[in-house]
Structure 1
Amino acid sequence: MEKSNKFKILDCTLRDGGYYTNWDFNKDIVKTYFQSFNSLPVDYLEIGYRSNPMNSYLGEYFYCPQYLLEESKEISSKKLVIILNEKDVRPEHVKDLLGPTSGYIDMVRIAIDPKNFKRALVLAEEVKKHGFEIGFNVMYMSNWENEKEFLGQIKEVTGIADYFYMVDSFGGVYPEDVKKTYEIVRDQTDTKIGFHGHNNLQLALINTLTAIECGVDIVDATVTGMGRGAGNLQTELLLTALNAKGLLDFDFNSLSKVVDPFEKMQKEYGWGTNLPYMVSGANSLPQKEVMSWVTKRYYSLNSIIRALSNKSRGIEDNMDLKNLNGEKKFKTALIIGGGPSGKNHSMAINEFIKNQDDICLIHSSSKNSQEYKNIETLQIHCLAGNEGHRLEESYSNMNIDNKLVVLPPYPRTMGTYIPKKLEEVAYQLNEINFTDKFHESVTSLAIETALKLGVEKFFFVGYDGYTGAIKTQELELFNENEYIFHSLKNNREFTPISLTPTQYDNLETQSVFALI
């Protein structure tokens, strides 16, 4: 690595890691971060975005207000960096966005889609007037070979940008790709070259070391690899590897001090690669959608992998089914969730069902479906996410008499899977309109199905909620269901009633035992 003594290191933990914390960070952790890096051989710290106002809550480090820049500059001895997202910023915004950063920020990087490279050049010219170093972070490196127009424009960056970054947005490049792309860029410009690697295939370290061997001038990393989707090259790993090669010397106590609090955060937020991120990286698929599925939605691993695999192969995995027409009407619906009470009180619930003259059963989960397999009234199974596979596993010898399956409106995010035996009785909703949010929720699917059947009285079992210390995903699911129940009450003026114990405030409660 004879060229390695010339390169610089940029840590972008607070910017890239913000995708997990919504750009809010504990102030004590940030203080430790800055103080520790004062003793480490890292040249730049990218602390966040400067952004125009967005229509959702995004935290401190998404906007980096002036007081934050002042605090950061006061405690950090490093060069500080902010980034602009080119798709949201125009030259006329630059004065307001960058004026307050003067004296605190040394470099402004610009996140660029290759398709917008020409437009980014105009934006950079305006940024350059304010005297900042400029970094061009050109994304989607693994797809550059398909961007012929952009490749022919790289030379135009000369004299405008101080650094031209090859950004492996999908985490899908290999060392030979790094070498090839480096030569393409180097042949067109004398601008210093950088590399930003993601870790979907756990190649961020070898790709970065390869980039250094090629002669790049700057590389990125984040503490514990904290970053969007599968995350980035770990700063501590890069520094350790370079130290072992005799290229860097530093205080490992300082490194350990900054790593410890981020490792604790990692246990909470769960960044790092997994099978869905590996599939998306290997096939250069966007991480934004995968991150949403993995961290915020409740799709199973199998359904995510199937959707990614089909997408990568160009397979159309959505089936346009018959719409549920609602010709048959019911006055009452019992919606059965997957909570323990749906099984624990199943004998009483079965008695309750037998005593009703005009009721249909709607399963929002297959977990408790076995407990009600002998009920002769209409039973509808909602197949969102991976419920088709779960239902098939639950009871393969299902009698399809008085059974229907209903899927969300076409097209579906996770595609379509229907157990073969149930294909004849499979329908889809044409829309979900009782709530303005969470249209892919299985609870929304169950309620909209009931409304389609003319239901006016809603009972629920197996919607227990959660008690004690709950995980982030459980809390999100709980809040999602609360919103859905609230929508049913307010928008349709129905009163949803739980017949089993529940933590949901928007479900009124009655005891199933009082009704049998």
Structure 2
Amino acid sequence: MSKDLTLVEVALRDGSHVVRHQYTTEQVVSIVKGLNEAKVPYIEVSHGDGVGGSSVQYGFSKERDINLIKAAKEVSDFSKIAVLLLPGIGTVEDLKEAKEAGADMVRVATHSTEADVSAQHIRYAKNELNMEVVGFLMMAHMASAEKLLEQAKLMESYGADVVYVTDSAGALLPHQVTERIELLVNNLDVKVGFHAHNNLGLAVANTLAAIEAGATFIDGSARAMGAGAGNTQTEVLVAVLDKLGYNTGVDLYKMMDVAQDLVAPLIETEQIIDSDSLMLGYAGVYSSFRLFAQRAAEKFGVDSRDILNELGKIGVVGGQEDMIVDVASQLAKEQK
């Protein structure tokens, strides 16, 4: 297996959920400068739900993510700037704007069984915009290893340079990560990546399992900032990988300083595994649903854990946030 790994820092994208998408230009510039000095290869910058995600349904950004991307690019002479795009939320026009603002890479995200909806965006990014392109298969616990391979092959055929197994719910166990990553590594001609959430406390363990199975692109988030209980904590991961002899190229001390001095002060509620986060992983629910479920629970006077458990039973996926209110309403009726 390769000892060289490529790290993508997601605190300015997945971490946007934690600050309710209220990042300012000044905050982004400060953090990007620090990450750039720490020699982080890629920094993802966009609304938590990708470029174009600022909306009533997903939450309005304080500042337009295109402007944040531009500001990030202007202060980064080493790190490349990445963006997330979810077809149906972000458009080809959003992608073009992101590229013009300075984005080097786009990660086109779909549900784990719906890779076909990424074709237009991957091809446009690759062939028209000459960007690095990643296929991002979300909610990977909801598809078998064989199904994920089928979908990954589609993304590869559209032109993706890397395909990710994305544990959006933090629901996978290490052996399930190994099974999925190994199958993709052994059957794709492109690189394979892994993105974890920590809802079951397994983000670092699952990322190590992915690396040992052959993944060479890995995601981390400073101070673990991300939806649910957060992502794989970058500074912890870099330290662990250094002890294991892997090369990320990231300066550990400088990465620790970014996390401690720049990111930590922005977090109102520490990234811990509370009851709702645990239920996300246990029930297999999209990590960004946590806050929506808590609001619905308060409105309808029901237990947020019951909402999340029911959402897991019916197999909701990203983009079905409207189901949260429906489930909460139904639970309230049943309890009367």
TM-score surpassing 0.5?
yes
Corresponding position: 1:58 with 2:56: no
CA contact (8 A) 2:224 2:234 kept: yes
Per-residue CA deviations over 1:249-279 (Å, capped at 9, x if unaligned) read 765442232112322332x134332122212
Conserved? CA contact 1:144–1:151, under 8 Å: no
CA 1:168/1:257 → structure 2, altered by over 3 Å: closer, same or farther? Answer: same
Query: What do the CA deviations read for 1:19-39 (whole angstroms, capped 9, x no partner)?
Result: 122322244433331222123
Structure 1 vs Structure 2: percent identity of aligned residues? 24
- For 1:88, what is the secondary structure of its paired residue? coil
Q: Which residue of 1 aligns with 2:79?
A: 78
Q: Deviations over 1:370-415 (max 9, x none)?
A: xxxxxxxxxxxxxxxxxxxxxxxxxxxxxxxxxxxxxx99972544
Residue 286 of structure 1 aligns with an amino acid whose one-letter code is Y
Cα deviation, residue 161, structure 1: 0.1
Cα deviations across residues 127-163 of structure 1 (Å, max 9, x unaligned)? 2121000011110110112994x65343233351011
What's the offset of the Cα at 1:192? 0.8
Compute the TM-score of the two structures, normalised by the length of structure 2: 0.82
TM-score of the two chains, using structure 1 as the length reference: 0.55
Over 3 Å counting, the alpha-carbon distance change for 1:54 and 1:309 in structure 2 is closer
Equivalents in 2 of 1:81, 1:114: separation in Å?
21
**Partner secondary structure for residue 127 of structure 1:** helix
Aligned residues: 317
**Which residue of structure 2 lines up, in the alignment, with residue 135 of structure 1?**
134
Report 1 or 2 for greater relative contact order, CA contacts < 8 Å, sequence distance ≥ 6. Answer: 2
**Structure with more helix by fraction:** 2
- Please tell me the residue identity of whatever aligns with 2:75: I
Task: Describe the shift of the 1:23–1:46 C-alpha distance in structure 2 as closer, same or farther (beyond 3 A).
Answer: same
Residues 52 and 238 of structure 1, relative CA distance in 2, 3 Å threshold: closer
The two structures, once aligned, show a CA RMSD in angstroms of 3.1
For 2:11 and 2:194, the matched residues in 1 are separated by 15
Q: 1:291 to 1:146 in 2, by over 3 A?
A: farther
Letter paired with 2:266: M
Unmatched 5+ stretches in structure 2: 315-324
**Runs of 5+ consecutive residues of structure 1 not aligned to the other structure:** 315-407, 419-425, 427-516
Cα distance between partner residues in 2 of 1:80 and 1:62: 16
Q: 1:30 aligns with which of 23, 28, 31?
A: 28
The Cα of 1:215 is off from its aligned counterpart by 1.3
Report if the CA contact (8 A) 1:115-1:147 is conserved: no
Taking the aligned partners of 2:14 and 2:297, their CA distance within structure 1 comes to 21
**1:273-292 pair list within 5 angstroms:** 273-292=273-292
The verdict on how the C-alpha distance between 1:38 and 1:296 changes in structure 2, with shifts beyond 3 A counting, is: farther
1:272/1:27 CA distance change after superposition, 3 Å = farther
* Contact preservation (8 Å) 1:47, 1:81: yes
Q: Deviations over 1:318-360 (max 9, x none)?
A: xxxxxxxxxxxxxxxxxxxxxxxxxxxxxxxxxxxxxxxxxxx
Amino acid at match of 2:31: Y
CA-to-aligned-CA distance 1:165-191 (integer Å, 9 cap, x gap):
000011011111111111332344211
SS at match of 2:329: coil
SS of equivalent to 2:166: strand
Tell me whether 212-221 or 285-294 shows the greater mean CA deviation.
285-294
1:400-451 CA deviation, whole Å, 9 max, x = no partner? Answer: xxxxxxxx99972544675xxxxxxx5xxxxxxxxxxxxxxxxxxxxxxxxx
Partners of 1:279 and 1:231 lie apart in 2 by: 14
Counterpart residue number, 1:20? 18
Q: Deviations over 1:27-79 (max 9, x none)?
A: 443333122212324210001132177457621566323xx333212211201
1:220-259 alignment to 2 at 5 Å?
Answer: 220-248=219-247, 251-259=251-259
- Structure 1 pair 297/412, CA: closer, same or farther in 2 (3 Å)? closer
Q: How far apart are 1:310 and its partner, in Å?
A: 5.4
Distance 1:301 1:46, change over 3 A: farther
Q: Within 2, Cα distance between the matches of 1:168 and 1:61? A: 28
**1:52/1:97 contact within 8 Å kept:** no
Indicate the structure (1 or 2) with the bigger Cα radius of gyration.
1
SS across alignment from 1:215: coil
Residue 17 of structure 1 aligns with an amino acid whose one-letter code is G
Give the SS at the match of 1:285. coil
